[in-house]
Amino acid sequence: MSWEIQTIADRAAGATSMAEVGAYLVLGVVLGLAIVSLMGLILNYSERKICAHIQCRLGPMRVGFHGLLQPIADGVKLLFKEDISPRNADRLVYIMAPFISLLATFLIVVTVPFSPLVQIADLNIGVVYVAAVSGFGVLGVLLAGWSSNNKWSMMGAMRAGAQMVSYELSAVLALLTVVLLSQSLKLSEVVLSQEQGWWIFRAPVVGLVACVIFFVASCAEINRTPFDLAEGESELTAGFHTEYSGLRFALFFLAEFVNMFLVSAMLVTFFLGGWMPFHLGGLTGFNEVMDLLPPGIWFLGKVTVVVLLFMWVRWTFPRLRIDQVMNLEWKILLPIGFANLFLTSIVVLLDLYLF
């Protein structure tokens, strides 16, 4: 089956008038903002409910049916809550920090391939762009901790900076594995390269190892338990955003949940075929049955499974110590990542794909 990729940016480039170009640009911005806002609400509610059921509780139940309106109520509360700034804070940097964190999130959303027809922009250097912009998010965390003039915030920011920069190396090595396998830096071509089978299955061993490395590294990059040392409540109150309240705190909160969606979307794109249905080599009949579901449904279904896995990990494993977090990256994940990249080059050179 042939797939036609058409992004919003492509349609804008092919427009015949400035009004049409402007309409597509506005559509792209609105779509990106809608995805960020909607994912924040959905994942906030899902996190609470899944946490509650894991701990044999009900979770939100009072606002709306089964608490469905609780995220909206929380958003309204934070929007109108008094916004207090520390007296001796660096005010300009203090105000900018949460917006920088959310900006990095929005810049990655525009590249996510939700389906062949739902993608805002498909860059020729998409993998390089994602790796670069994801590192940009740590600036917001560091600026928030430093500008707050609070020793606990500063300590949380330093932990977050060291952790995010360190684990980004392993995450990029895992992505480079897929770049070798797909022979492309373009996200749509990475997805199309998995038409015969997802890389986690098609590339023997190396695909699975790279997927596990990316999952663990992503969990650390977005400060999810057991890597939530930057927000260690029992040690640092709330870490880098201790001094934030109201809307600015809500922006950090929103960025955290959307980042979980984004790393799940990237894992699905690189290792689980993205919006591509589940195909097995030359099994034409089986593949045609899999094609009955629309690509967008495949993508959202896979992302949902990965998000649930992130939530399950959070409410199952205890928090690690900072020395354990650093040792895991520099002494275990990074060497395995380099070795796996070398083995991937052998798989590509000798054409050792399963199908």
- What 3-state DSSP class applies to 118? strand
CA separation for the pair 104, 143 (Å, rounded): 14
Q: Could you tell me the residue range of the domain that residue 235 belongs to?
A: 78-350
Nearest partner of 128 among 169, 183, 168, 186, judged by Cα: 186
CA separation for the pair 311, 225 (Å, rounded): 9
Q: How many domains does the chain have?
A: 1
CA separation for the pair 181, 351 (Å, rounded): 10
- Tokens (6 digits) for 196: 């015969």
Determine, yes or no, domain membership for 129: yes
Strand partners, 118: 115
Nearest partner of 140 among 89, 94, 204, 203, judged by Cα: 94
Chain segment 69-82, per-residue pLDDT in tens = 998 998 888 888 87
Determine, yes or no, domain membership for 15: no
Determine, yes or no, domain membership for 48: no
- Tokens (6 digits) for 197: 């089978």
Determine, yes or no, domain membership for 187: yes
Chain segment 18-61, per-residue pLDDT in tens = 888 888 888 888 888 888 888 888 998 999 999 898 888 988 99
Provide the b/e sequence for 289-314 (b: ≥16 CB within 10 Å).
Answer: ebeeeebeebbbebbeebbeebbebb
Chain segment 210-263, per-residue pLDDT in tens = 999 999 999 988 888 788 776 666 666 667 778 888 888 888 888 888 999 999
Determine, yes or no, domain membership for 29: no
For residues 101-112, average pLDDT: 88
Determine, yes or no, domain membership for 322: yes
pTM of full prediction above 0.85: yes
Chain segment 107-119, per-residue pLDDT in tens = 899 899 998 888 8
Determine, yes or no, domain membership for 24: no
Nearest partner of 259 among 70, 107, 77, 125, judged by Cα: 107
Determine, yes or no, domain membership for 122: yes
